[in-house]
Amino acid sequence: MTRFPRLAAKSEIEEGVALAPRFDAQGLVTCVTTDAASGDLLMVAHMNEEALAKTIETGEAWYWSRSRQALWHKGDTSGQIQSVVEMRVDCDQDAIWLKVNVAGDGGFCHTGRRSCFYRVQPTGDGPRLRPLLMAEDAGGGT
Amino acid sequence: MTRFPRLAAKSEIEEGVALAPRFDAQGLVTCVTTDAASGDLLMVAHMNEEALAKTIETGEAWYWSRSRQALWHKGDTSGQIQSVVEMRVDCDQDAIWLKVNVAGDGGFCHTGRRSCFYRVQPTGDGPRLRPLLMAEDAGGGT
């Protein structure tokens, strides 16, 4: 398995060309996954060192499931495999951005929607969510 | 300050209309911020209960700075205030998505770039980053 270097110098972390993820106390970095075609935000998940290494090696998205405490090859059971079109890392290397194409029926969220972000919270109001209509769901659903 | 309900039932968390964020052990939820116009991913940050409440109340983005352990009104010193165009929450309510317009010079990252995600990690390769050319930087920079 690919092992990533640990860098101490801020300049190397921010400006260097070595991928040196800053895993948190749980050994995780945050991963933001967007649809490569539409740009829509699909999900936010986490990766441990092995998930990140497997994603780079295979070109498919692997995560660490915090609820199941297990490595998670997204789409293994649903067929909704995520092919990585581009991977980026942020300035302080504690977050990953995946732009993906989704196989299978194109679905994404375990609730059946195309994106996990299907409810809007208006600002200036109390905490009252507005669920998106199906047609507003990112990508229009399937 | 707005206080958010704590919900136990998965059905209420996933399908309800109450914003009931599932703060982690550090009292934080992840926040993904994108440019409302271009859709580009700008940053990944965190919010505690107060930051989330202030964002809703003011319509401007407030975060919790983990490095400074302080409430953080983005743009207070730089002028790069983020006006929230839309806020969404994900299925299990542990992540927030802000679509924002950025004031000031439109900059975003503390390194001076428009997005924090300015380096690409190729898949199938070793851990070697490719910095984006300035013209590829999300939004083209300023």
Asked whether B121 and A87 are in contact (CB, 8 A), the reply is: yes
Asked whether B19 and B2 are in contact (CB, 8 A), the reply is: no
* Cβ pair A130:B17 closer than 8 A: yes
CA distance A77 to chain B (A): 20
Longest dimension (CA), chain B: 49
Asked whether B18 and B7 are in contact (CB, 8 A), the reply is: yes
Chain A hits for B58, Cβ within 8 Å:
123
What is the reported pLDDT for B2? 58
Would you give per-residue pLDDT tens digits along chain B (142 residues)? Answer: 658 888 889 999 999 888 999 999 999 999 999 999 888 899 999 999 999 999 999 999 999 999 899 999 999 988 889 999 999 999 999 999 999 999 887 777 888 888 899 999 888 865 577 776 655 664 433 3
Chain B interface includes A37 (CB < 8 A):
no
Nearest to B120 among A87, A129, A130 (CB): A87
What is the reported pLDDT for B74? 93
Chain A hits for B44, Cβ within 8 Å:
30, 32, 90, 94-95
> Residues 6 or more apart from A14 whose CB is under 8 A from it?
A91, A92, B111
Would you give per-residue pLDDT tens digits along chain A (142 residues)? Answer: 658 888 889 999 999 888 999 999 899 999 999 999 888 899 999 999 999 999 999 999 999 999 899 999 999 988 889 999 999 999 999 999 999 999 887 777 888 888 899 999 888 865 577 777 655 664 433 3
Chain A interface includes B49 (CB < 8 A):
no
Q: What are the φ/ψ torsions at residue A10 (nearest 5 degrees)?
A: -55, -40
Q: State the ipTM, two decimals.
A: 0.81
Helical segments of chain B, H only? 10-15, 49-58
A3, A118, B81, B101 from B117: Cα distances, Å: 22, 25, 19, 18
Name the residue among A38, A39, A33, A117 with its Cα closest to residue A80: A33
Chain B hits for A129, Cβ within 8 Å:
16-19, 89
> Distance between CA B97 and CA A77 in Å, rounded?
27
